[in-house]
């Protein structure tokens, strides 16, 4: 039976993660990044599943899928993980971060109506989350499965409990109530929505990079129920110390009539995948779904 992405084992340990965090915080970023080369080599040599998924993805993205390209893909992912340490400890002066279409968020805040922010495993989510908490630019909550990659999450959360406190655990029986409460308070709720749920009836297949993949429809139904705008965001890593944060409005759920919600949800989900595809072509090495995303094993 094919294993869900939720049940993939973490490939590190607490001691190693803490050591890397200590090294990052007590030396320069330049020296800390030297660790990324042996880490990339380790995952390249010991994880054929990561290697194969990268190769297949790069082929679909129209990128050279050579050994060096696969290694570059893994290295890009490792870079964003390392930078999470700096973001969580408020060391933004190390980075050149540009934000595009910020007005979309400002409008939601001015109207005090909140919104659903749809993210994906493309680029760094932490650059947005930490920057928001640090600068207090807008109230943000994160709806996520806290148990997934629990080890690395717990290690990194200790670096900044304030950021960790913004999480709404999807496994909490009151999760949806907490989301609704946050929206009523004018907060923005972010959801990573590019991976399917275990319940196939809650997923819809959409085209991405010329092939179909499953996506959860729940975030769209949630936005319709709460009658809030849906905005997609990406924290793209550009290499070196450069990041770019993008916002794009998908739709305003308040204009959707109840009988039309199912159809509109399907249409807007396909628009979401088209938006992901646009940013994949903009920054192909930022795609961080290192598993059998398109079910090629079948």
Within-domain flag for 291:
no
Q: Which domain holds residue 209?
A: 5-286
* Burial tier of 58 (Cβ tally within 10 Å: 0-12, 13-18, 19+): buried
Within-domain flag for 298:
no
Structural domain count of the chain: 1
Within-domain flag for 296:
no
Determine how many CB atoms are found less than 10 A away from the CB of residue 76. Answer: 20
Q: How far apart are CA 13 and CA 16, in angstroms?
A: 6
Within-domain flag for 297:
no
Within-domain flag for 244:
yes
Within-domain flag for 292:
no
Determine how many CB atoms are found less than 10 A away from the CB of residue 245. Answer: 20
Within-domain flag for 254:
yes
| Single pTM value for the model | 0.89
Q: How does DSSP classify residue 202?
A: G
- The pLDDT profile of the chain, 298 residues, written as one tens digit per residue, is 344 545 555 455 677 777 888 888 998 999 999 999 999 999 999 999 999 999 999 999 999 999 999 999 999 999 999 999 999 888 888 999 999 998 998 888 888 888 999 999 999 988 887 777 666 567 889 898 866 666 676 777 777 777 778 888 888 889 999 999 999 998 899 999 999 988 888 899 999 999 999 999 999 999 999 999 999 999 999 999 999 999 999 998 878 888 888 888 889 999 999 999 999 999 999 999 999 999 887 6
Within-domain flag for 18:
yes
């Amino acid at each position: 039976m094919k294993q869900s992405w939720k049940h993939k084992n973490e490939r590190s340990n607490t001691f190693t993660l803490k050591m890397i965090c200590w090294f990052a915080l007590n030396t320069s970023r330049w020296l800390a990044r030297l660790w990324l080369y042996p880490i990339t080599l380790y995952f390249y040599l010991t994880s054929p599943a990561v290697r194969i998924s990268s190769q297949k993805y790069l082929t679909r993205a129209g990128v050279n899928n050579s050994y060096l390209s696969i290694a570059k893909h893994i290295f890009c992912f490792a870079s964003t993980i390392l930078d999470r340490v700096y973001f969580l400890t408020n060391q933004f002066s190390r980075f050149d971060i540009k934000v595009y279409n910020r007005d979309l968020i400002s409008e939601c805040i001015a109207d005090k109506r909140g919104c659903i922010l749809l993210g994906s495993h493309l680029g760094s989510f932490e650059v947005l989350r930490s920057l928001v908490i640090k600068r207090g630019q807008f109230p943000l909550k994160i709806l996520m499965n806290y148990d997934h990659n629990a080890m690395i999450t717990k290690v990194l959360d200790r670096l900044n409990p304030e950021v960790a406190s913004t999480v709404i655990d999807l496994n909490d029986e009151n999760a949806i109530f907490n989301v609704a409460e946050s929206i009523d308070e004018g907060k923005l709720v972010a959801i990573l929505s590019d991976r399917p749920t275990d319940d196939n009836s809650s997923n819809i297949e959409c085209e991405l990079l010329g092939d179909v993949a499953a996506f959860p429809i729940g975030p769209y139904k949630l936005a319709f129920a709460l009658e809030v705008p849906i905005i997609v965001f990406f924290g793209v890593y550009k290499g070196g110390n450069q990041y770019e944060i993008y916002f794009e409005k998908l739709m305003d759920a308040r204009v959707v009539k109840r009988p039309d919600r199912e159809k509109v949800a399907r249409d807007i989900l396909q628009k979401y995948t088209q938006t992901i595809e646009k940013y994949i072509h903009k920054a192909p090495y930022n795609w961080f779904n290192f598993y059998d995303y398109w079910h090629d094993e079948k």
